[in-house]
Structure 1
Amino acid sequence: MQQDKQPDYHEVVFRDRAAGFAFLTRSTAVSDQTIEWDDGETYPVVDVEISSESHPFYTGKARTVDTEGRIARFERRYGDDGAMT
């Protein structure tokens, strides 16, 4: 394995500002911004737009699509003769 070809793998904080959620992990992501973490160390921070704390699927606030209404509208418009041509 070529050592000079490997990306810099270091500790990074990913932060979702909308949800007030952040976690420390290892990554190759880079950032000019830094944050002081709970352990007193300073780490680069990457702001993300959505995380498991703010994603509608994980929070239970997902919208349901009105598929029944769409099917009924389609059948009204094009008829429901049941024949496939």
Structure 2
Amino acid sequence: MKHGIHPAYRPVVFRDKAAGTSFLTRSTLGSASTVEWEDGTVYPVFDVETSSASHPVWTGRARVLDQAGRVELYRRRYGRG
């Protein structure tokens, strides 16, 4: 890698607004706001609206909408054969 052309890769806290959870990882994202983490160190914080803690597919709260009705609609339109 060439020095001086890549963004800084550093620890960043991602805070999920929907679930109220936070997790510490490494990223190139920057933020003007900071938060003090559990270990007492101050890290930049990046707020996200959805993460694995609040996404319906990952939490198991995904809903199947009218599956039988769609099959019946298909059969009415295109026949049973």
TM-score using structure 1 length: 0.84
Q: How far apart, CA to CA, are the structure 1 residues paired with 2:30 and 2:62?
A: 32
Q: 1:68 aligns to what?
A: 68
Unaligned runs of at least 5 residues, structure 1: none
Q: How far apart, CA to CA, are the structure 1 residues paired with 2:17 and 2:45?
A: 11
Structure 1 residues 40-76: Cα deviation after superposition (integer angstroms, max 9, x where no partner): 1111000011111111112111011323211212222
SS of the residue 1:3 aligns to: coil
1:20 matched to 2:27:
no
Amino acid at match of 2:63: R
Q: How far apart, CA to CA, are the structure 1 residues paired with 2:68 and 2:17?
A: 37
Unaligned runs of at least 5 residues, structure 2: none
Q: 1:59 aligns to what?
A: 59
TM-score using structure 2 length: 0.87
Q: How far apart, CA to CA, are the structure 1 residues paired with 2:26 and 2:73?
A: 50
Over the matched positions of the two proteins, sequence identity in percent amounts to 57
**Higher Rg:** 1
